[in-house]
Structure 1
């Protein structure tokens, strides 16, 4: 198993592009250990104050570790990433930043430090004193190269990126559309905990060491990411599709359209069957609403009700 150290600047990138040079090469089925810095890319450190936020460079936010070239991945395939383990750091941070968030401009900037231990996070100081947040880590950024063009790190895109979907924790399998040879996979933005929507624009941001497995799914030819993941608020594993758009209504429609397509490809359901099933057991959730200009709406369906319909 190879280890990739994202604390080294030469292993990071600050844009999405099909022209980035790979930092590592892996084969279909390989396991990879990746050391990932926090979303500030090591700019925020223990002991810093709210006043220090003004010194940050937003151009360094969400630097991704990668890209990783996956042998055998070709345009028209899907790349399946199994998240096998996430070990977060013992410290994290959250912030209110006046220029982002669902209520941007309403509050002054604020930096909050968290102590992470024994499966919980607690703030350091009086802010939220007595609150213990269960640690449920996941990866905010999982993406592959676009087919063309150059994109910033913050808004999610059709190739994944900064989706901030809390389903992307241990046990999840994330499918991404391959647009270029080798897929060019990158990871970033570990979270110790986050609610659906990430309404301030930050979660409990932390560093992490992540173990993944990569698999090439030949010819699946998906348009956008989808996920199979265990969640505690569902009775079983779920299949999850993600609509990504600058319009929430369109993102919800895209999530539904992708679900109909996935149910057809994996379980043989007709579009009408998928439509009714999505209406009676599917759950729509806003997974990300602060990474303007694009938002993420997720549709989940319990997988156990589909087992008899496997192709």
Structure 2
């Protein structure tokens, strides 16, 4: 077993997409471990607290009229003219990787164990050692067209501080209503529509003393984690799909094991979208977006060895913890295949919790019938009395429902 270190840098991150065409940042063997740093793409919501003084973050987010360190942000076009910028924000998350897995090939399953997760402290002179995150109640949120207070519509950014002295929790520091921001290329962003735009705090009004006496329990986890799909060279990081991605389940934290079907040689694992806390549904559009470092272990399960195991027939992401298994249903299990060449730009128009619930049901049924040798009638009865289904997220274009079954109901566990 070898332990690798993968820090964030302009050379080790890619912004807004999964890709089978990007040069791997590292290559691991089955059984290897890696310490991987991740940065939140929302760090520029408060540059002073979340970027300033951090050399790696400063380098990655650097954007002036003369130079933009990471030009492409999203899976869209890289040749102008642009409406928003290179990549057009078709995908927003800062992803670390890819991590290539030696010997991985289509049909295999990659197990990714999250051994530990810890926040990345601020290196700003004023806030050194403290940890911060941002929550955006944004235009893609479930709430956005159902507001009751003026002004309507509006996007609101709330900055949180994470206290890790004891049992970690987050407390709101201040919020502000998004006002139009002009990026260094002269493009005006009236809404939060392109990742990494630095918010000019002279243009917003900070409202302090908010969410008083509220402490949000921390749930450190990675919102976006998975493998490169096979259908396209560059695939938006926003909609989750069969190879993982932006699942946004707060349970994907320390102690979790995620299983992903391998779609391309080498698997090409990437991780990002780090969160300090999130509720089921991620209703407003984001979690508390922060920067985290994780310790991971990679186990490759070869396709010829899957028969008779819980991984037999697995063609979608699955979570295992000490207590339960969870499967993830989406509006479209593989939206890239279902919607064709315009899938990445049209998927948001097809979002449906009904379809996601149907997909989660089918995946849980398959799991119980395959992994636990149940008849269909047995599986349906057990799901109705012992499985828990919940809305994972309604903000990532390909909406998600998770189905969970507790291990302690099975005698062998």
- TM-score, reference length from structure 2: 0.67
Q: Distance in 2 between matches of 1:100 and 1:78?
A: 32
The aligned runs of 1:1-311 (5 Å cut-off) are: 1-6=3-8, 8-13=9-14, 14-40=16-42, 42-47=43-48, 59=89, 61-89=92-120, 90-97=131-138, 99-105=139-145, 106=147, 107-117=153-163, 118=165, 119-124=168-173, 125-149=208-232, 150-219=234-303, 220-230=312-322, 237-245=323-331, 246-292=351-397, 294-308=398-412
Distance 1:84 1:307, change over 3 A: farther
Q: Distance in 2 between matches of 1:191 and 1:26?
A: 25
Structure 1 portions without partners, runs of 5+: 49-55, 231-236
Question: What is the CA distance between 1:221 and its match in structure 2?
Answer: 4.2
Q: Distance in 1 between matches of 2:280 and 2:244?
A: 17
Question: What is the CA distance between 1:244 and its match in structure 2?
Answer: 1.4
Q: Distance in 2 between matches of 1:4 and 1:47?
A: 25
- 2:17–2:92 Cα contact (<8 Å) kept: no
CA RMSD of superposed structures (Å): 2.0
Question: What is the CA distance between 1:179 and its match in structure 2?
Answer: 0.6
Q: Distance in 1 between matches of 2:406 and 2:142?
A: 29
- 2:101–2:266 Cα contact (<8 Å) kept: yes
Q: Distance in 2 between matches of 1:114 and 1:46?
A: 14
Q: Distance in 2 between matches of 1:5 and 1:264?
A: 42
Q: Distance in 1 between matches of 2:7 and 2:375?
A: 45
The farther-off stretch of 217-226 and 174-183 is 217-226
1:53 paired residue number = none
Question: What is the CA distance between 1:193 and its match in structure 2?
Answer: 0.6
Q: How many pairs were matched up?
A: 293
The alignment partner of 1:45 has SS state of helix
- 1:194–1:204 Cα contact (<8 Å) kept: yes
Regions of 4+ moved over 6 Å: none
Q: Distance in 1 between matches of 2:252 and 2:132?
A: 21
Question: What is the CA distance between 1:215 and its match in structure 2?
Answer: 0.8
Q: Distance in 2 between matches of 1:147 and 1:29?
A: 24
Q: Distance in 2 between matches of 1:47 and 1:25?
A: 34
Question: What is the CA distance between 1:46 and its match in structure 2?
Answer: 4.8
Q: Distance in 2 between matches of 1:228 and 1:10?
A: 32
String of CA shifts for 1:71-100, please: whole Å, max 9, x gaps.
122111111111111102311111222x21
Distance 1:17 1:47, change over 3 A: closer
- 1:284–1:300 Cα contact (<8 Å) kept: yes
The alignment partner of 1:268 has SS state of coil
String of CA shifts for 1:6-48, please: whole Å, max 9, x gaps.
2x122112322322221110010111110000132x4333558
- 1:143–1:160 Cα contact (<8 Å) kept: yes
Distance 1:20 1:46, change over 3 A: closer
String of CA shifts for 1:240-265, please: whole Å, max 9, x gaps.
00011233222112112111222233
Question: What is the CA distance between 1:271 and its match in structure 2?
Answer: 2.8
2:70 paired residue number = none
String of CA shifts for 1:132-155, please: whole Å, max 9, x gaps.
111111110111010221321111
